[in-house]
Amino acid sequence: MIEFSNIKSLMLPRKNILYYLNKNTTEKKDEIAFTFLNGKENINHTWEQINNRSLHLASFLSKKFLKGERIILLFQNNNMFIESILACFYADLIAVPVEPPNNHNTINKLKNIMADCLPVAIMTQLRFKKNKFFKSINNIDIVYLESIQDEKFRIIDLNPSNKVAFLQYTSGSTAEPKGVIISHENLLHNLEIIWDGTGRIINPTGVFWLPFFHDMGLVGTVFFIIFCSGRGIFFTPIKFITDPLFYLKTISDYKASVTVAPNFAFDLICNRYYKEKHHNFDLSNLIYVANGSEMVSSKTLLDFYNTFKVYNFKFESWHPCYGMAECTLYISGESQMNYEKIVYGHPYGNFNDKINIIPKESKNSIGYVSVGFPTFDYSLILFSDNKKNIELGEKVIAEICFNSNSIGNGYFNKNDISKPKKFEYVSYKGKKYFRTGDMGFIYEGNLYITGRKKDIIIINGKNIFCGDIEKILSKTINDESYKNFIVTTIIKKQKELIVCIIECKKVHIENRKNKNLYNKIISVIFEYFQMNVFDICLVSSNSLPRTSSGKIQRFLCKNYYENGDLSLLNSLRNKDLDIK
């Protein structure tokens, strides 16, 4: 096996995550880099172990594959994934992290990804060998890491030159997955911005559970720890979902200073906390809690803080953030969180109108959370699609567009890999600004997200965000029997009609509470938005389609409804609005 001491002369550019890996190996070789909690024992890996095994794999890969070829990485959250992606970087191969094929949907998604990126091999672990997915593929190398012989390999030009680091396939929350081309320069630039948002923390200890194939789980945890010379404590997403309080216990036990998770995770923790025997946590060491990957809820921030402040959780530890795969991960985050960074607005207004800021106590108020403002070389503008101009004023709702070195080089194009499919841009003062498809406004120098452009409902001349309706329903219908309100629309006879889909417990499907729920939703939506509801569907808990990070896929919910694929428990269609 190649030992680190034998490759000290390897020259690596600073514009590459491998520079920081080797720096950590030189300065902290026997210190623990990554710890994996698997329920039976804690498995530790030092910097030297990770780097040596990565080099060993890189030498093996260099003998089998050509530079620039794509390699599928199919692993659980473990050291084999980390070593495999670093080996791909060393060997100038393009890594393609994917979700393990655990069901029909993930199998189809993986097949679509493979058809798009045309990989030459799949690197995986033996536990997946009997997975039925592998029975359906041919003419591709499958490399099981445990089967690679532990022998010396000749180093074959391990000085990376390929600009492309990996393909990050988008989660599919708004469209079919597409492979964003992320360069080594994109990655380093984005990590620098994330690090700055933490206050340039030194040697952080982080506790994480997000899947490594997800942009937040890969860039925001694995690469962040390498970049900051920290220590990462990892467990599986399944462990978090089944035991959310284990998350806080691990943070407490390891005195973690940083963590990242989507908004829903903190709701899940609060819900479980009130149902189980309370624990004695110590959250005093947490100084950076990134809440991102989906819309950040003001209610979630306040509920979590009020629940866990007794365990020394600090409100200023919150770091609400905003980003997407097309910009590697991170665009901006609020690094000075306080109550004033939550503002309250009226639940509806016309497209491109100014947000109407109102007191929190107002009956119709909806909370919006600051996600800071982009720093470094980020340049941000708001573009009015209707007016075809740039909005420079505060409180104007328009599409968020930005320019940055973190923006990827387009989507992978299998028909001509030298010509990526371009992102959509708008030009302003000689610069190209990437169009995010997200809507937001600036208030007192901070950015606030209001929703996806595609999620705007236009009814009776009003432009309303689906997310705003969902917030109002969650706020007014305070019943644990009904969770996850999803609002979408369908078109019938050239009319746009509102459909509300709700996950609920089966025990209530025959209960008269459902009729009360129907009446409540009808009255709330009409009172707040002066709109009628075409249908209200009650579906089984956790049955709606979700992305790998746990976000419910609204566009797929709409497709499920139209195709009759919902796990329907009851439908309360408004017969008065039914259009034959």
Grouping H, G, I as helix, E, B as strand and the rest as coil, residue 487 is: strand
Please name the residues in contact with 16: beta carbons below 8 A apart, sequence gap of 6 or more. Answer: 89, 160, 184, 188
In the chain, the largest separation of any two C-alpha atoms, in whole Å, equals: 78
Using CA atoms, how far apart are residues 531 and 526, in angstroms rounded to an integer? 5
CB 260 within 8 A of CB 240: no
Mind giving me the DSSP string for 325-378? GGGSSEEEE-SS--GGGEEEE-S---TTPBP-B--TTSTT-EEEEB-----TT-
pLDDT recorded at residue 66: 92
Q: What is the mean pLDDT of residues 278-300?
A: 89
Q: In what order do the strands lie in the sheet with 568-571?
A: 482-492, 495-504, 533-540, 568-571
pLDDT recorded at residue 281: 93
pLDDT over 90 (residue 284): yes
pLDDT digit string, tens, across residues 519-556? 788 878 877 776 778 888 888 888 888 776 667 777 78
Using CA atoms, how far apart are residues 368 and 387, in angstroms rounded to an integer? 25
Q: What is the mean pLDDT of residues 145-158?
A: 64
pLDDT over 50 (residue 559): yes
Stronger pLDDT, 452 or 335, i.e. the higher one: 335
pLDDT over 90 (residue 173): no
Residue with tokens 């990376």: 160
Closest CA to 245 of 280, 211, 210: 280
Quick one: which H or E segment has residue 319? strand 318-323
CB 333 within 8 A of CB 446: no
Using CA atoms, how far apart are residues 285 and 314, in angstroms rounded to an integer? 9
pLDDT recorded at residue 507: 57
Using CA atoms, how far apart are residues 450 and 5, in angstroms rounded to an integer? 53
pLDDT over 90 (residue 473): no
How sure is the predictor about 2, in pLDDT bands with cuts at 50, 70 and 90? very low
The mean of the pLDDT values for the chain is: 84
pLDDT recorded at residue 561: 85
Using CA atoms, how far apart are residues 169 and 412, in angstroms rounded to an integer? 9
How sure is the predictor about 4, in pLDDT bands with cuts at 50, 70 and 90? very low
pLDDT over 90 (residue 483): no
Using CA atoms, how far apart are residues 419 and 461, in angstroms rounded to an integer? 41
Top mean pLDDT of 289-303, 449-463, 561-575 is at 289-303
Using CA atoms, how far apart are residues 455 and 557, in angstroms rounded to an integer? 12
How far lies 309's CA from each of 54, 281, 283, 286, in Å? Answer: 42, 10, 9, 12
pLDDT digit string, tens, across residues 94-118? 999 999 988 777 888 888 899 899 9
pLDDT over 70 (residue 13): no
3-state secondary structure 415-430: CCCCCCECCCEEEECC
Residues of the chain above pLDDT 90, percent = 44
Stronger pLDDT, 194 or 417, i.e. the higher one: 194
pLDDT over 90 (residue 72): yes
pLDDT recorded at residue 220: 96
pLDDT digit string, tens, across residues 290-325? 998 788 989 899 999 999 999 999 999 999 999 999
Please name the residues in contact with 347: beta carbons below 8 A apart, sequence gap of 6 or more. Answer: 364, 365, 366, 464, 468, 469, 471, 472, 528, 529
Using CA atoms, how far apart are residues 433 and 428, in angstroms rounded to an integer? 7
pTM of this structure:
0.82
End-to-end CA distance of the chain: 71
Stronger pLDDT, 381 or 122, i.e. the higher one: 122
Residues of the chain above pLDDT 70, percent = 85
How sure is the predictor about 167, in pLDDT bands with cuts at 50, 70 and 90? very high
Using CA atoms, how far apart are residues 553 and 175, in angstroms rounded to an integer? 9
pLDDT digit string, tens, across residues 179-221? 999 999 999 999 999 998 888 998 999 999 999 999 999 999 9
Lowest mean pLDDT among 136-140, 154-158, 236-240, 341-345: 154-158
Grouping H, G, I as helix, E, B as strand and the rest as coil, residue 252 is: helix
pLDDT digit string, tens, across residues 348-390? 554 446 788 888 887 777 889 999 987 767 788 888 766 666 7
The one-letter amino acid code at 165 reads: A
CB 226 within 8 A of CB 23: no
pLDDT recorded at residue 152: 58
pLDDT recorded at residue 327: 93
How sure is the predictor about 446, in pLDDT bands with cuts at 50, 70 and 90? very high
Please name the residues in contact with 396: beta carbons below 8 A apart, sequence gap of 6 or more. Answer: 352, 353, 354, 355, 382, 384, 441, 442
pLDDT over 50 (residue 174): no
How sure is the predictor about 573, in pLDDT bands with cuts at 50, 70 and 90? confident
Grouping H, G, I as helix, E, B as strand and the rest as coil, residue 4 is: helix
